[in-house]
Amino acid sequence: MQTGPDNIVIVKQIEECFKKGNFDCVLKWLAQDDVIWEVYGSDDYPFAGKYCGIEQVAQLFNSLAQVTEFKLYEVEELIPHHNQVVVSGCTEVQWFGGHIFKTKWLQLFTLHNGKVIAFREARG
C-alpha cells in the first residue's frame, strides 16, 4: 500500500489536471475497470450520481466538457490518511449559456498501487 505522502503527490497531479480542464489527464490516474466515482449534490446539479468503471467516468467528463468551463478551481487543503486523501476546495464554473455556478467541495480519493479506485465529492 502506498503511503500518504506518495498519494498526496498523485492527488496534486490529478487536481492540476482538473484545474486545466484536462479530463483525459485525470482518466490516466484511474483504475480502469474498478473505479467508482461518486458526486453528491443537490437535485439541480445534473452530474450528481454514481459512475462505475472508466467508461462511465469518461462519459461524465465528456458531458461536463461539453457544457461547462472552469473559471476558478482552487484546492485549499489536502489531508492524507493511509491510502486516502481528503481535499477541500472551491470552484467557479460557467455553464455554456452564461450561468455561473460557485461552490465549495470536499473530495475523498482512495488509491491503490498509484491509481484512484474510488472518488467521492460533496458540494455545498
> Which pLDDT band holds residue 43 (cuts at 50, 70, 90)?
confident
Task: Note the pLDDT of residue 93.
Answer: 85
The yes-or-no verdict on residue 101 having pLDDT over 80 is yes
Task: Note the pLDDT of residue 2.
Answer: 57
- Taking the C-alpha atoms of residue 11 and residue 8, their distance in angstroms, rounded to an integer, is 5
In which order are the strands placed within the sheet that holds 68-81? Answer: 49-52, 36-40, 115-123, 100-112, 84-95, 68-81
Residue labelled with grid coordinates 486545466: 20
The yes-or-no verdict on residue 3 having pLDDT over 70 is no
> Which domains occur in the chain, in start order?
4-123 (3.10.450.50)
Contact 45, 121 (CB under 8 A): no
The yes-or-no verdict on residue 99 having pLDDT over 90 is no
